[in-house]
Amino acid sequence: MKKTLTLLAASLVMVSCSAEPRTLKDAFKDKFLIGVAVNQWQCSGEDSLGAATAKKHFNSIVAENVMKCEEIHPEENRYFWDDADRFVKFGEDNNMFIIGHCLVWHSQLAPWFCKDSLGNLVDAQTLRDRLRDHIHTIVGRYKGRIQGWDVVNEAIEDNGDYRNSDFYKILGEEFIPLAFQYAHEADPDAELYINDYSMNNAGKRDRYVKLVNDMKSKGIRIDAIGMQSHMGLDYPNLSDYENSLKAFASTGCKVMITELDMGALPSVNRGANVADKVAYQKELNPYPEKLPDDVSAQWNNRMDSLMNIYLRNADVISRVTAWGVSDGDSWRNDWPVRGRHEYPLFFDRNYNPKPFLHKYLNDK
Ligand code: 9MR
């Protein structure tokens, strides 16, 4: 009897010891893809620690910058492929689900794209031709290698109006379905997404639901609605956010959380409009060394609530992607205020996972 008890105790110890630390991709493998935005230094291996964390924990990548129009297609007759090729190779070498970002976006648009030689807006047919060439060339180059594309990014204002971008001024609402049509022609197997920030806003939510339903009713391929999810400690309201998630799922599209980060610093503005900048003031950068424990606890609790939202909606969410590997990589160190010390991502500046992840990783 005593021997049996001793054996039982020993095997219990073994069971608890065998709870090895896991990776994020193991932890969420039956739920959704877990992705990360990577930069050119991670893909080239120059940032070896960032690359190692991306490989270890994530099974999907998206190009943070290297496929934006001004980078990849800086002049009408010149494409620049080196960084984008390295990004795709990085994903292939590591068996990742690869997302191209982004084909049509008013920001980081190469200056020539919507203009003629005098700087005036081009006519509708010229823009259609340019869009077709741009999308066919890029999507075509990576046909069968990139599995999903952010086709149109940030086309709608928070109140639900169409953004008055040059694309909209020249082509009106038509530019969105056209971009999807061209992408589908270029790679019929690729998944196609529409993507935006501040998706918790009711105006934006309603517009996207209508827009996507219209596209679907016309037989235009669209696979997912991307909720960027650039957040702060005090925005968005998580029930508005979850309502949007459910509303998007009601279209029959998958929902993707495409650019998740959550600032821990005082929020000066919301959303993710790259153009909204605020001047540096010391009070806006209160934790240049370390996040105080109480703020860290608040941040981790909110991330935990968010993960719970994702897990309870996992049947409609196909991917959750963090917008950068570690805190040191985040664009939020420079937006909306340049030079702050932010804490928005899954991994800290030493590549340690944040506490809200410990339970998924079997860490103490
Ligand atoms: O994180 C990106 C940052 O490095 C760039 O400077 C910036 C402008 O290209 O874009 C950032 O990524 C944006 C993404 O492409 C679209 N949604 C908002 C993201 C944060 O601005």
Domain that holds residue 48: 31-266+273-362
- With respect to residue 326, please indicate whether it lies within any of the assigned structural domains: yes
Give pLDDT, residue 275.
77
Residues with CB under 6 A from ligand 1: 64-65, 68, 108, 153, 197, 228, 259, 272, 274, 331
320-356 confidence digits (pLDDT tens) = 999 999 999 999 999 988 999 999 999 999 999 999 9
Mutate which of 204, 274, 325 for ligand 1? The one with the most ligand atoms within 8 Å of its CB, which is 274
Which one of the listed residues 64, 154, 191, 342 is annotated catalytic?
154
SS3 of residue 12 by DSSP: helix
- With respect to residue 356, please indicate whether it lies within any of the assigned structural domains: yes
* Distance separating alpha carbons of residues 227 and 198, to the nearest angstrom: 8
Tokens of 360: 């998924």
Cα–Cα distances in angstroms (integers) from residue 300 to residues 52, 81, 264, 295, 317, in the given order? 24, 39, 10, 9, 21
Give pLDDT, residue 261.
98
Quick one: which of 276, 35, 252 has its CA closest to 150? 35
* Distance separating alpha carbons of residues 54 and 51, to the nearest angstrom: 5
- With respect to residue 6, please indicate whether it lies within any of the assigned structural domains: no
Quick one: which of 127, 138, 148 has its CA closest to 33? 148
216-253 confidence digits (pLDDT tens) = 999 999 999 999 999 999 999 999 999 999 999 999 99
- With respect to residue 232, please indicate whether it lies within any of the assigned structural domains: yes
CATH number, domain with residue 253: 3.20.20.80
Total-model pTM: 0.94
Cβ contact 224:256 at 8 Å: yes
Instruction: Look over the chain and give the mean of its residue pLDDT values, rounded to a whole number.
Output: 94
Give pLDDT, residue 19.
61
Tokens of 172: 């009106």
Q: What is the mean pLDDT of residues 291-305?
A: 98
- With respect to residue 168, please indicate whether it lies within any of the assigned structural domains: yes
Known active-site residue 242: no
Q: What is the mean pLDDT of residues 142-158?
A: 98
Mutate which of 64, 103, 261, 335 for ligand 1? The one with the most ligand atoms within 8 Å of its CB, which is 64
| Counted domains in the chain | 1
Known active-site residue 259: yes
Cα–Cα distances in angstroms (integers) from residue 286 to residues 124, 281, 328, 332, in the given order? 49, 10, 16, 15
Q: What is the mean pLDDT of residues 272-277?
A: 78
- With respect to residue 233, please indicate whether it lies within any of the assigned structural domains: yes
Cβ contact 255:224 at 8 Å: yes
55-82 confidence digits (pLDDT tens) = 999 999 999 999 999 999 999 999 999 9
156-215 confidence digits (pLDDT tens) = 999 999 999 999 999 999 999 999 999 999 999 999 999 999 999 999 999 999 999 999
Cα–Cα distances in angstroms (integers) from residue 279 to residues 103, 232, 263, 342, 351, in the given order? 31, 18, 17, 16, 29
